Amino acid sequence: VAAIDMKSESRDAGNTDFLLCVSTQNAWSCFPGMNAAVRATVRVGLYTGAKVYFVHEGYQGLVDGADNIRLATWESVSMMLQLGGTVIGSARSKDFRTREGRMKAAGNLVKLGITNLCVIGGDGSLTGANEFRTEWSGLLADLVKAGKITNEEAKKSSHLNIVGMVGSIDNDFCGTDMTIGTDSALHRIIEVVDAITTTAQSHQRTFILEVMGRHCGYLALVTAQACGADWVFIPEMPPDEGWEDHLCRRLANQRARGSRLNVIIVAEGAMSRAGQPITSEQIKKLVTDRLGFDTRTTVLGHVQRGGTPSAFDRILGSRMGVEAVMALLEATPDTPACVVSLSGNLAVRLPLMECVQVTKDVTAAMSQGRFDEAIKLRGKSFENNWNTYKLLAHINPPDVKSNINVALLNIGAPCAGMNAAVRSAVRMGIIQGHNMLAVHDGFDGLAEGQIEPITWTSVSGWTGKGGSMLGTKRTLPGKLLEEISQNIAKFNIHALVIIGGFEAYVGGLELVQAREKYEEICIPIVVIPATVSNNVPGSDFSIGADTALNTITSTCDRIKQSAAGTKRRVFIVETMGGYCGYLATMAGLAAGADAAYIFEEKFGIRDLETNVEHLVEKMKTTVKRGLILRNESCNSNYTTDFIFNLYSEEGKGIFDCRKNVLGHMQQGGTPTPFDRNFGTKMGAKSVLWLTEKLKECYRHGRIFANTPDSACVLGMKKRALTFQPLADLKSDTDFEHRIPKSQWWLKIRPIMKILAKYDIKLDTSEHADIEHVIKKRGPLGK
């Protein structure tokens, strides 16, 4: 059935009871984003007509029972999205590790009639949950024998369903792209790196930053890539013998090239090939004694576990909470315990113990010195990050130059992350032996000859800079083709990297169409989507959208706090995005909005009336505030002022209204870790593709590219970075409104509405099936 009325189905099934448990075997395991998962699980559970219970203090609360297992309500999970940690507590439980303790836990669940368990935690917590499920029938038999429960109670609770959500800042659980809490931890780390960088540059210092990751180097690796660190130490790949000489040589070379600072990132679990720990103090002593550099160390510690969750972690937690409830609803006694996560932008279900096994395989590979295999077992994303970092970390150009000139330009409105893409493209080009050219001020600069060489050192430190260092304009090339073709010939440009928004896409199309008239434009072209609007066809995500989303979300947090203090207040917030409702929708999900008006989902006066009535009802509860988001171009008649006036009039005596237009602050700021990392990978991949394409297009001593596949958009589609010909994307483009005709995120809009307590139907036609992570092993464990 395409659209299931989950309420009706649940009532027909006899009002299934759900238990929500945040559990862990470690006393300190709580992460930003857990509360989003708790909130979503509770509210979607209630939406389906189920009873939902909190278990306070993790597995210990399960064992102790009584007040630790409490009925959850809609209001009980309000105002928790922006809170770090977990509001229902997490604690180490020695009792749950014993069979006697698990018997007590089973007895507590049976007495409440609970047979569905949702666990948020790391691999230890999830393994414990699976063991509990495996023993369930035996535990019930022992309870009946001991007279603790009746045969009838045991029969009603004959099997236990388990679903897990992985929470870990280390991102050390195999089978998932990102665990809840990882992105927020990266935000904390990058904030510190940015602060340290300014003082290090002033004093010409070397900074060694130690981050968490006892068994997994993900945080260290992504941080190194996001800040352009000189060296990174991770447990999965210890440095080669003699690394001390290599490190000192690299740092000295960087200083000789004019760099005023050096940054070294160390995972706390870093070790040598011999299995000996490599500590930040050890590295500091080495650099100070050998080079005499002024060196400082910073150990971040538990700062990484705290703070406000990022927009990504809130959306991840919310989507996983919804998927967890769906998995429990569909579970049968034969369904294996599973974990839910995201792969690309797809919700996936993975067999719990397969993921645990692969995670253990990584540890075994590291302990046995099979480091290449450990990197591969971590997954494609980790492996790609490692390979990209290795290539970009230090200049290592080939002996023979390619004599290829590659030009880079930014088009459209500026956004955070553009500079990271430029930096990685420049450095990857130099590594390939190409001459890299910077074009200032977009197509205007290309037409006017504002073109100059750009070197390895000239892009140092660009990953953390917002805006566009090259300069960018919205001008399209259509009226400048004569001048552009002349300058392509004059500067002997063999390939173009165009980084920008919808204008970059349209500009690329105009260049392709001009190939018929101008032979000089018959060169390979790649477009990298970079815009806060996330409206470029051919890619699910654009560079810059994550930074804008976090800006909106943090602003909405402050607005909600203000509304909560004054009571009975509704805020109308206008977001950017042109005609694309991505920012309004995702910010609505991340900030807990009551409604988000967008162009793609038509609405009228009846819908506005429904929303006002919904807020009137909400004011009768303990949650006396409202948040409404409106995309700037959602409707030319229902403007922000109109909606503000309508809500103000209809809410008289019940609530008052305020409005905020966020404006260009959404385009500014330093890039988020996601945008830095995404931009870095996109820039590097684009130049590698161009290098291969140039070989294909080299004929009779010159470059000639006029096939559709020689001009592509590089985009993230579902789970992979793919190149799609510009010409092929025209059919999926609404040129009038500057948006793709099909947009993946529209399918998650109902989640936002359900979490805001609207009685709508949830489309489950694309529910996630269980996928397998353990494949037939080859020589490298794959």
Catalytic (active-site) positions? 170
Place of tokens 């566009």: 468
Torsion of CA 712, 738, 659, 548, to 10 degrees: 0
Counts of helices then strands in the chain (DSSP H, E):
25, 29
The per-residue DSSP string of 408-423 comes to EEEESS--TTHHHHHH
Determine whether the annotation assigns residue 92 to a binding site. Answer: yes
Q: Are 715 and 529 in contact (CB under 8 A)?
A: yes
DSSP 3-state of 336: coil
d(CA 422, CA 429): 10
Beta pairing partners, 406: 436, 495
Torsion of CA 762, 764, 765, 769, to 10 degrees: 170
Backbone φ, ψ for residue 435 (5° rounding): -95, 125
Termini Cα distance of the chain: 37
Determine whether the annotation assigns residue 122 to a binding site. Answer: yes
Residue type for position 561: Q
Determine whether the annotation assigns residue 658 to a binding site. Answer: yes
Q: Are 730 and 508 in contact (CB under 8 A)?
A: no
Determine whether the annotation assigns residue 632 to a binding site. Answer: yes
| 225-264 as b/e: b if 16+ CB within 10 A | bbbbbbbbbbbbbbbeeebeeebbebbeebbeeebebbbb
DSSP 3-state of 391: helix
d(CA 722, CA 417): 19
Determine whether the annotation assigns residue 594 to a binding site. Answer: no
Determine whether the annotation assigns residue 547 to a binding site. Answer: no
Determine whether the annotation assigns residue 539 to a binding site. Answer: no
d(CA 765, CA 321): 18
Give the count of beta carbons closer than 10 Å to the beta carbon of residue 277.
11
Place of tokens 């009137």: 616
Determine whether the annotation assigns residue 11 to a binding site. Answer: no
Determine whether the annotation assigns residue 400 to a binding site. Answer: no
Please, is 782 exposed, middle or buried when counting C-beta atoms within 10 Å of its C-beta (0-12, 13-18, 19+)?
exposed
Determine whether the annotation assigns residue 510 to a binding site. Answer: no
Determine whether the annotation assigns residue 276 to a binding site. Answer: no
Tell which phi-psi region holds residue 678, choosing left (phi > 0), alpha (psi between -120 and 50) or beta: alpha
Determine whether the annotation assigns residue 586 to a binding site. Answer: no
Determine whether the annotation assigns residue 268 to a binding site. Answer: yes
Angle between helices 182-203 and 673-696 (to 10 degrees): 90
Determine whether the annotation assigns residue 531 to a binding site. Answer: yes
Determine whether the annotation assigns residue 528 to a binding site. Answer: no
d(CA 116, CA 138): 17
Determine whether the annotation assigns residue 651 to a binding site. Answer: no
Determine whether the annotation assigns residue 466 to a binding site. Answer: no
Determine whether the annotation assigns residue 666 to a binding site. Answer: yes
Give the pair of three-digit tokens for residue 549.
């989303």
Q: Show the CA angle centred on residue 195, arms to residues 191 and 197, nearest 5°.
A: 115
Determine whether the annotation assigns residue 102 to a binding site. Answer: no
Determine whether the annotation assigns residue 93 to a binding site. Answer: yes
Determine whether the annotation assigns residue 532 to a binding site. Answer: yes
Determine whether the annotation assigns residue 533 to a binding site. Answer: yes
Determine whether the annotation assigns residue 10 to a binding site. Answer: no
Determine whether the annotation assigns residue 576 to a binding site. Answer: yes
Determine whether the annotation assigns residue 619 to a binding site. Answer: no
Beta-strand runs (E) in 193-322: 206-211, 231-233, 262-267, 295-299
Determine whether the annotation assigns residue 368 to a binding site. Answer: no
Give the pair of three-digit tokens for residue 365.
């590979």
- Would you mind telling me the total number of residues written for the chain in this entry? 782
Closest CA to 43 of 31, 52, 34, 35: 52
Determine whether the annotation assigns residue 257 to a binding site. Answer: no
Determine whether the annotation assigns residue 305 to a binding site. Answer: yes
Bridge-based pairing of strands 451-453 and 338-343 is unpaired
Please enumerate, by residue number, every residue annotated as part of a binding site for ATP. Answer: 92-93, 122-125
Please enumerate, by residue number, every residue annotated as part of a binding site for Mg(2+). Answer: 123
Please enumerate, by residue number, every residue annotated as part of a binding site for beta-D-fructose 2,6-bisphosphate. Answer: 474, 531-535, 569, 576-578, 632, 658, 664-667, 738
Please enumerate, by residue number, every residue annotated as part of a binding site for substrate. Answer: 168-170, 205, 212-214, 268, 296, 302-305
